[in-house]
Amino acid sequence: MNTTVFNIQKLMSTNMQSNAKYVGFTIFIVTILFLLPEFSWAHNVALPDQSFLENNTGANIAPYLYLGAKHMVTGYDHLLYLGGIIFFLFRIRDIALFVSLFALGHSITLLTGVLANWTVNPYLIDAIIGFSVVYKAFENLGGFQKFFVTWLDTRIAVFSFGLVHGLGLSSKLQDLNIAKEGLIENIISFNIGVEMGQLVALTFLLLSFNILRQSKNFQDHSTVANVALMTAGFLLMAYQLTGYFVFTTG
Domain that residue 207 falls in: 39-249
The backbone region for 121, taken as left when phi is positive above 0, alpha when psi lies in -120 to 50, beta otherwise, is: beta
In this predicted structure, what is the pLDDT of residue 9? 47
Average pLDDT, the chain: 81
Helix axes 47-55, 61-74, angle to 10 degrees: 150
Query: CA dihedral defined by 233, 96, 104, 196, rounded to 10 degrees?
Result: 90
Q: Stretch 125-134: mean pLDDT, rounded?
A: 95
In this predicted structure, what is the pLDDT of residue 42? 43
Which range is least confidently modeled, 34-43, 92-101, 141-150?
A: 34-43
For the cut 90, the answer to whether the pLDDT of residue 38 exceeds it is: no
- 88, 140 Cβ separation under 8 angstroms: yes
Band of the pLDDT at 222, cuts 50, 70, 90? confident
Q: Is residue 221 part of a domain?
A: yes
In this predicted structure, what is the pLDDT of residue 243? 86
For the cut 50, the answer to whether the pLDDT of residue 10 exceeds it is: no
In this predicted structure, what is the pLDDT of residue 30? 47
Q: Is residue 164 part of a domain?
A: yes
Quickly count helices (H) and strands (E) in the chain. Answer: 10, 0
Q: Is residue 18 part of a domain?
A: no
Band of the pLDDT at 22, cuts 50, 70, 90? very low
Q: Is residue 17 part of a domain?
A: no
Write down the pTM of the prediction.
0.79
In this predicted structure, what is the pLDDT of residue 16? 43
Residue scoring higher pLDDT (179 or 193): 193
CA distance readout (Å), 81 to 42, 68, 157, 158: 12, 17, 12, 9
The total number of structural domains that make up the chain: 1
- 237, 124 Cβ separation under 8 angstroms: no
DSSP string, 107-124: HHHHHHHHHTT----HHH
Instruction: List pLDDT tens digits, range 78-119.
Output: 899 999 999 999 899 999 999 999 999 999 999 999 888 888
CA distance readout (Å), 14 to 19, 27, 213, 224, 227: 9, 20, 21, 14, 18
Q: Is residue 7 part of a domain?
A: no
Exposed / middle / buried, residue 8 (Cβ in 10 Å: 0-12, 13-18, 19+): exposed
- Nearest C-alpha neighbor of 160 from the set 237, 83, 86, 108: 108
- Nearest C-alpha neighbor of 81 from the set 231, 233, 242, 199: 233
Q: Is residue 109 part of a domain?
A: yes
In this predicted structure, what is the pLDDT of residue 117? 86
Band of the pLDDT at 230, cuts 50, 70, 90? very high
Q: Is residue 81 part of a domain?
A: yes
Q: Is residue 204 part of a domain?
A: yes
Element holding 212 (H helix, E strand): helix 183-213
Its sign, for the CA torsion 65, 68, 72, 75, is positive
